[in-house]
């Protein structure tokens, strides 16, 4: 007799067979690629339909950041890796401290590189990892699970909610079947995978798009972007050093050497360099302007305070 877990998995949208790829095992390489590519086109459409919920999630995250809170992604397998990747890219891109956005994956660090089978099957493991990370309000916990049912993720989200944290959830099963108590559920339904149950494909792509939106939009709302340029990046490698110079050159009209000089005077901080170059302020005055403007460059240049 089939188990209840078997019945649960069998009913998930992410576990259905895709009628458009039934003969993929006999297809040519070109046909295989066209099938995959055609299915991938459905992903951004599914994500677009969830934008109102992504917007709600961003508002929650921004509010938490302004209160000194952190964002924790929690997932297993592909979902967990996507959370870790998005979190790890925030410091070099936006100049955030490493603890501000964190990714937790079932099985720990080793699971990033090799599947740790069974690590996701216990709810308490998720709760324990959040306790170990010192999660508390106003932190936000975002569960990521294509199926919604991953015990590790469910356990983490339930624990977070029990201690008063705001909770988000990103899943690729329909909202109509979502039955977990969270503040915001984001449910891009991408349809059955080309290979049945292989949620590293369309589901993984959809999850990555959503996570990119959450952190990018949040950082923009915190003043870490000027026009469409990242201005709080950390000059931690040669590429980022040169990108910083290019940003200063683009915004101010300075040449390469002058941009490098003002960056050096600003202690390598792009925002400070921009305010210095555009207002004639020294480093201390530029920093004062930025602090008064809440970290936003436009009002710091104009001498006004954002609403």
Calpha distance 290→300 (Å, rounded): 5
Distance CA 76, CA 74 (A): 7
- Whether 89 sits among the annotated catalytic residues: the reply is yes
Query: How far, CA to CA in Å, does 111 sit from each of 82, 89, 106, 116?
Result: 12, 18, 7, 5
Which residues, other chains included, contact 13 with Cβ-Cβ below 8 Å and sequence gap of 6+? 172, 173, 174, 177, 189, 191, 192
Choice among 15, 55, 59, 89 that is catalytic: 89
Active-site residue (options: 50, 120, 123, 193): 120
Number of other residues whose CB lies within 10 A of the CB of residue 55: 14
Catalytic positions, written as ranges: 89, 120
């Amino acid at each position: 007799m089939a188990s209840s877990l078997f019945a649960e998995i069998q009913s998930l949208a992410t576990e259905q067979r895709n009628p458009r790829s039934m003969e993929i095992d006999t297809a040519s390489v070109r046909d295989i690629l066209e099938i995959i590519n055609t299915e991938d086109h459905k992903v951004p459409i599914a994500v677009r339909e969830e934008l109102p919920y992504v917007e709600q999630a961003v508002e929650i995250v921004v509010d938490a950041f302004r209160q000194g809170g952190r964002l924790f992604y929690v997932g297993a397998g592909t979902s967990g890796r996507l959370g870790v990747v998005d979190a790890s890219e925030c410091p070099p891109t936006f100049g955030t401290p490493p603890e501000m956005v964190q990714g937790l994956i079932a099985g720990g660090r080793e699971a990033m590189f090799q599947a740790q089978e069974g690590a996701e099957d216990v709810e308490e493991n998720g709760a324990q990892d959040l306790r170990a990370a010192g999660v508390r309000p106003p932190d936000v916990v975002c569960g990521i699970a294509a199926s919604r049912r991953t015990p590790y993720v469910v356990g983490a989200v339930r624990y977070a909610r029990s201690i008063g944290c705001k909770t988000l959830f990103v899943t690729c099963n329909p909202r109509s079947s979502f039955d977990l108590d969270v503040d915001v559920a984001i449910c891009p339904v991408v349809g059955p995978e080309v290979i049945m149950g292989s949620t590293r494909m369309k589901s993984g792509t959809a999850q990555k798009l959503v996570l990119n939106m959450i952190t990018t939009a949040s950082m923009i709302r915190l003043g870490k972007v000027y026009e469409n340029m990242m201005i709080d990046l950390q000059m931690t490698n040669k590429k980022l050093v040169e990108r910083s110079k290019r940003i200063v050159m683009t915004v101010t009209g300075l040449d390469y050497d002058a941009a490098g000089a003002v960056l050096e005077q600003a202690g390598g901080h792009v925002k400070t360099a921009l305010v210095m170059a555009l207002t004639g302020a020294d480093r201390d005055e530029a920093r004062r302007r930025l602090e008064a403007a809440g970290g936003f460059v436009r009002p710091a240049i104009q001498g006004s305070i954002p609403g």
